[in-house]
Amino acid sequence: MSDSTTNDTGPTTTPPAWWTTATVYQIYPRSFADSNGDGVGDLGGIRQRLGHLHDLGVDVIWLSPIYRSPQADNGYDISDYDDVDPLFGTLAEFDALTDEVHALGMKLVMDLVVNHTSDEHPWFVEARSSRDAPKRDWYLWRDPLPTGQGADAAGTPGAGSHPTAWRSAFSGPAWTLDEGTGQYYLHMFASKQPDLNWENPDLRRAVFDMMNRWLDRGVDGFRMDVINHIAKEPTSLAPGASHFVMGGQIHDHLREMHREVFAHRTGRELITVGEMPGVTVDDAKLFTAADRHELDMVFQFEHVGLDHGPASKFDNLPFDLVALKRSLSRWQEGLADQGWNSLYLGNHDQPRSVSRFGDDGRYRFESATLLATVLHLHRGTPYVYQGDEIGMTNAGFTSIEQYRDIESINWFDESVAAGADPEHLLEALRFRSRDNARTPVPWSGGAAAGFGTGTPWIELVANHDTVNVEADRAAGERSVFEHYRRLIALRHESPVVALGSFELLAPDDERLYAFTRTLGDEQLLVLANWSGEAYELDPALHPALRRRSVPQVVIGNVPGGAGLTLAPWEVRVLRS
Ligand code: TEU
């Protein structure tokens, strides 16, 4: 968010927003660095490692939640929006961190989790105390339906008393009966994460006030957790997302938020990104059009859902490059003239990108750098998830005892109870579990990997002796970090990377991801061999491949890469 984006003259005449050249780095605090030896990463650890992020050159740091929380969902269940959880540190340390981040020329973005709170938040404690409690209406309560007219706990309509058949994202029903007051409350996630009622103006006021306090404190914006879920219509018994995402009021709520929180902060360079499972290109155009004053960008989920089968996200389908290209390029085209994309391949909810989309064995360096290059050369704001800058791989857990994630554990338990084969479930988790991306960052070799002196809350990846920050940064031409650093710098220096138009080439090719970026008379040609075998380029693909003079390689991952053959997992960006 900036003065330029809040100008009504439209995108063609306003100067580009500052975040068009920016890269965001996501920290998952409990797994980043532990300064006090309790096995959980903390603010002290982040402060000790800021140099790493400054060297990388990122512009913005997004912190996953550090607020007070019972940690049922690793902090996405907040019991006090105005304090730091003692697990992570203190408010004073937070202020020191903010100052240090700013002194290094970076910005700090907080996670904003306001679709739900913890059931231990004083708001919910009061709300559940009686049907007449003043804050009762801040949450979503419904009477049980006469038995047989509602859904049962398994989500079968007409078999129980649940007000709708909605399922929680973490298994089980989305309604829990509050015994004390005899009504169900809604929770789209864990039962310890009751959903807030955004229809209530006092609740909205309280959220906006809280956001204003953090901005006054110096933070530079928010990543808004499942923000398209805040306007829901719990009136229909039907299952399905259409009734709990993107309710009619969503645009009004976001515009009101903009008015109450951001509009008056002219002169400050702020950023807002809304996490929106299920958002379509057309929705995203509305959410991110500068003149609508809603959000700067959204996290869409289409490309990270392509390998989900019909049964659930744990129903793993093989990776399909053609489908990925088709999806990402539709978003590039859709938001070309209005709105803005955020770009990501991984985060704390997704498997490690090199394990999911690349080859985390023999070609780990090549595929990690290829993925980074393809993503960062798209138009939008790239997000780097901690550890991706050294090519970290999936956790490789083989027993359910190694998992910590509530989603993984609930799904495993529910499926075992329903008769599924535990080995089969473990295989699915090995690929899909959110814990794959939540293992501690290995800063160096050795048993504790430089993460901290205590036993980490979740095991390190077995390959931490070779895949760690120290080793990667010393790897010269084969440093993933160094490649990321160059990509981030390229976006700073090169208007065509930040703003150029996007055109996909060879859309149906099953191994090649090729596209151009064009701005004025400048053009970049990106050629990526998404496979473990050499790839012969067809000179008909692009005129630059037919010229006698060898085009300049702007960035690549195979030294001396030239000619019409791409080595396995080679990526090359040419100035055409
Ligand atoms: O995630 C929302 C979300 O829809 C998924 O990505 C989620 O991780 C889950 O896997 C659905 O299958 C956000 C946060 O990023 C996530 O960590 C939280 O657990 C969730 O909201 C609830 O706050």
**Model pLDDT for residues 518-538, shown as the tens digit of each residue:** 999 999 999 999 999 999 999
Q: Does ligand 1 have an atom closer than 6 angstroms to the CB of 226?
A: yes
Q: Does ligand 1 have an atom closer than 6 angstroms to the CB of 484?
A: no
Q: Does ligand 1 have an atom closer than 6 angstroms to the CB of 78?
A: no
Model pTM score: 0.96
Q: Does ligand 1 have an atom closer than 6 angstroms to the CB of 189?
A: yes
Q: Mean pLDDT across the chain, nearest whole number?
A: 95
Distance 55 CA to ligand 1 centre (A): 30
Q: Does ligand 1 have an atom closer than 6 angstroms to the CB of 313?
A: yes
Place 246 in a pLDDT band, splitting at 50, 70 and 90.
low
Q: Comparing C-alpha atoms, which of 266, 185, 199 is closest to residue 232?
A: 199
Percent of the chain at pLDDT > 70 equals: 95
Sheet strands (E) in 309-375? 342-343
Q: Which residue has the tokens 């739900």?
A: 116
Q: Does ligand 1 have an atom closer than 6 angstroms to the CB of 307?
A: no
Rounded mean pLDDT, 114-131: 98
Distance 439 CA to ligand 1 centre (A): 17
Predicted pLDDT at 241: 52
Predicted pLDDT at 488: 98
Predicted pLDDT at 232: 83
Distance 349 CA to ligand 1 centre (A): 6
Q: Does ligand 1 have an atom closer than 6 angstroms to the CB of 18?
A: no
Predicted pLDDT at 13: 59
Predicted pLDDT at 539: 96
Q: Region of 520 please: left (phi>0), alpha (psi -120 to 50) or beta.
A: left
Place 10 in a pLDDT band, splitting at 50, 70 and 90.
very low
- Ligand 1 atom closest to the CA of 188, numbered from 1: 22
* Res 244 pLDDT > 70: no
Distance 225 CA to ligand 1 centre (A): 8
Least confident of 1-5, 263-267, 508-512, 534-538: 1-5
Phi and psi, residue 167, nearest 5°: -110, 145
Rounded mean pLDDT, 490-506: 98
Least confident of 230-239, 302-311, 355-364, 468-477: 230-239
Rounded mean pLDDT, 197-201: 95
* Res 8 pLDDT > 70: no
Q: Does ligand 1 have an atom closer than 6 angstroms to the CB of 111?
A: no
Predicted pLDDT at 154: 87
Distance 381 CA to ligand 1 centre (A): 21
- Ligand 1 atom closest to the CA of 76, numbered from 1: 23
Predicted pLDDT at 3: 43
Percent of the chain at pLDDT > 90 equals: 89
Report d(CA 464, CA 358) in Å as an integer: 19
* Res 463 pLDDT > 90: yes
Ligand 1 mutation pick, 166, 186, 349, max ligand atoms within 8 A of CB: 349
Q: Which residue has the tokens 């770009």?
A: 343
Question: Annotated catalytic sites, by residue?
Answer: 225, 275
Distance 350 CA to ligand 1 centre (A): 9
- Ligand 1 atom closest to the CA of 301, numbered from 1: 6
Predicted pLDDT at 219: 98
* Res 260 pLDDT > 90: yes
Helix, strand, coil percentages for the chain (3-state, nearest 5): 35, 20, 50
More reliable by pLDDT, 562 or 521: 521
Contact 99, 62 (CB under 8 A): no
Residues pairing with 60 in the sheet? 24, 107
Place 234 in a pLDDT band, splitting at 50, 70 and 90.
low
Least confident of 10-24, 81-95, 115-129: 10-24
Tell me the pLDDT tens digit for each residue of 405-414: 999 999 999 9
Residue nearest to atom 8 of ligand 1 (CA): 349
Contact 140, 199 (CB under 8 A): no
Tell me the pLDDT tens digit for each residue of 147-189: 999 999 888 888 999 988 889 999 999 999 999 999 999 999 9
Rounded mean pLDDT, 467-495: 98
Report d(CA 238, CA 89) in Å as an integer: 44
* Res 4 pLDDT > 80: no
Both tokens assigned to 344 = 């990501």
